[in-house]
Amino acid sequence: MLWLGLTAAVAANQRRLVFNPTVEREVAHPRSNGHRTRPVVLRAKDGTRLSGWLMTPRMPGSRPAVIYFGGRSEEVSWVVRDAGKLFPGMAVLAVNYRGYGDSHGDPAEAHMVDDACMLFDWMTARHHVDPRRIAVVGRSLGSGVAVQVAKERPVHSVVLITPYDSILALAKRKFRVMPIEYMLRHRFESIKYAPTLKAPTFVLRAASDDIVPHSHTDQLVAKLAQLIGDETVPDSDHLTIPYLEDTQARIARFLTSQFAGPIEAPSLASAAPIPVPAPDIVVAAAATPAVAALPVAPVLPLIK
C-alpha cells in the first residue's frame, strides 16, 4: 500500500517535481550596460503571453544573436544584468517560461519546446539580427530545451550549462523502485537528440553538482555529434555556476570565436520548415505586484 501511495503521489505531483515556476524577478529593474534593453511580450501559438527582454548591441548593423533558456527555478531577469559580460556584441533574447516571471500559462515540456522554436523564428525576423548566426544557451532544465531547438531549427552554436542525459534518467535514479518511465510526461530526453545535432556544442559542468551528477552529463557528452568543448568551472556548483565571472568569460569566448568563423549553410537535424514568426508586442516596463505562493505539500525536485 505504501508503494502504491508513493507511486500515486509522484504521478500526481510530477509537474512540481520537474518545474518550479518563480514569479518574483531576480533583478527588479533589469538593464544591460552593454546593450539597448527593452521588455518584450510575445504571443505563443496558442495565444499565451510570454514576457522577457530583448537586448540589442549599441553598434549598428546586423549582429549575431543568442537565445537563453533558464533552469527549473530560474527567472531570467539576471541575464539582462549580466548580458554585457556573457554576450558582448550580440543581440540577446531572454524570455521566461510559461508560469515564470510575468509569463502566463503553465509549464510543460511540449509548450517549452514549441515556445522556444517560436522565439528562434521571431529572432530571425529582427532587422538587427543575422539569421545565420543565432546560438542557443540552456542551463540545467533549459539545456533540454536548447537541445530540442537545435534539433528543429538551424542554430549556429549551442552552449549547455550543467546538462543531463534526460530528466527521465534523473527520475529513475531518484525513484529507483517506481515505474517512473510509465508515469513521467515531461522527459526532456536530450540524449535521444544529441547524435543528430549539427551545431558546434560547448558543455560547461559545475565542479560540484549534486543535482545533475557528472555521470549523467557524461552520457550526453558521449552522444553529442559536434562537441567542441567540455569544461568544468572551478569552485562552482549547480546553483552558482552561471553567475561566476569564469563561467561568463568561457561562454563569451566560445560564442565570440564561433561567430567570428566563416558562415556555413545552415543544416537541420530534422528538416522541419521554419514557420512564419508569431506576432509580437513590445511593451514598456511595468511594475508587477508580488504574487503570493499557495502552500503546497513538499515534494522532492528532480532538478534545479
pLDDT in tens, 171-221: 887 776 566 775 788 989 999 999 999 999 999 999 999 999 999 999 999
Cell of 22: 518563480
| Banded pLDDT at 43 (limits 50, 70, 90) | very high
pLDDT at 291: 33
| Banded pLDDT at 10 (limits 50, 70, 90) | low
Domain positions in the chain:
2-282
Q: What is the pLDDT of residues 280-297, one digit of tens each?
A: 555 443 333 333 333 333
pLDDT at 271: 42
Q: Cα–Cα distance between 242 and 138 in angstroms, integer? A: 10
The residue among 96 and 15 whose pLDDT is bigger is 96
* Class of the domain covering 2-282: alpha beta
| Banded pLDDT at 9 (limits 50, 70, 90) | low
Q: Could you tell me the pTM of the whole model?
A: 0.86
Q: Cα–Cα distance between 52 and 93 in angstroms, integer? A: 8
Q: Cα–Cα distance between 62 and 142 in angstroms, integer? A: 27
Task: Return the number of other C-beta atoms located less than 10 Å from residue 111's C-beta.
Answer: 20
Instruction: Please report which residue ranges of the chain form alpha helices under DSSP H.
Output: 2-12, 14-18, 77-86, 109-124, 141-152, 167-174, 190-193, 214-221, 245-260
